[in-house]
Amino acid sequence: MEYLYFTGTAGSGKSSLVHAYQEWLDTIGLESIIVNLDPGADYLPYTADVDIRDWVNLNEVMEDYSLGPNGAQIAAADLMAVNIKEWGPVVKEMGAKFALVDTPGQMELFAFRQSSTAIIEELGRDSGFLLFLSDPMLAKSPNGFVSDMMLCAITQFRFSIPILNILSKSDLLSDDVLNEMENWAKDPYALYNALTDGDINSQSVMNIEFLKAMESIGMYRDLTPVSAENGTGMEDIYNAVQQYFEGGEDAE
């Protein structure tokens, strides 16, 4: 089973994309399961095949450990790893081609906790693939674009498994803005020019240095526009995953 971990900032559309991608996989005849790893989710647009809330529930953590919402989120993230020997085998026994893993809404609870590394190791590092969702409302400005690229690079650095940088909710952008962002992703000089266009402030200077650093260490990457609303980019996700796992061959 190949594990696709959907991660990104709060509100970037992870759960919606997980749902839409499973529906797309269904249309091409490929079986998948959904694993919800958000113990505090109030609403999910899908029915999870494995739901971490059956083992770790945020409200119960708050009550049992006398914690507020933020402290409980951190404790719950660690408890997921503590209980991995209980729920991990349930996931593995599903036997589907893909496991679509919906990570917690606040990305730091997944990307910056050692417990998440333990989860990936238990489920299988060699079978893991990250999908980082860039929020279009943040990334449509040059400074915001660099910030999202940095978060994507840091996420890959934390886990050291392949990653695809996705521009989520691309249907919310005009064609002109989308084309400009795609150009930034393909041509760092275009992004550099956008950062230096107009008045240069301290934020711009800092982001220019970040841009140079990402280029230098090979972390400057392309951007894949995707929309859970209209289905844009679903095949691109599939192709990127298959290119890594199967050398580009279609899954049977």
Chain segment 189-224, per-residue pLDDT in tens: 888 888 888 677 777 788 888 888 777 776 777 889
Span 3-18, average pLDDT: 94
Q: Which is more confident, 200 or 31?
A: 31
pLDDT exceeds 70 at position 251: no
Element (H, E) at 33: strand 32-36
Q: How far apart are CA 187 and CA 165, in angstroms?
A: 15
Span 67-80, average pLDDT: 90
pLDDT exceeds 90 at position 167: yes
Q: Which is more confident, 42 or 237?
A: 237
Which residues make Cβ contacts (< 8 Å) with residue 26, sequence separation at least 6?
32
Which segment of 45-59, 70-84, 97-111, 196-210 scores lowest on mean pLDDT? Answer: 196-210
The 8-class DSSP code of residue 4 comes to E
* pLDDT reported for residue 38: 92
Span 145-153, average pLDDT: 88
Structure tokens at 218: 């090979």
pLDDT exceeds 80 at position 65: yes
Residue 77, phi then psi, degrees to nearest 5: -60, -40
Bridge-based pairing of strands 50-51 and 32-36 is: parallel
Mean pLDDT of the chain: 90
* pLDDT reported for residue 211: 81
Rounding to the nearest 10 degrees, give the CA dihedral for residues 60, 65, 71, 77.
-60
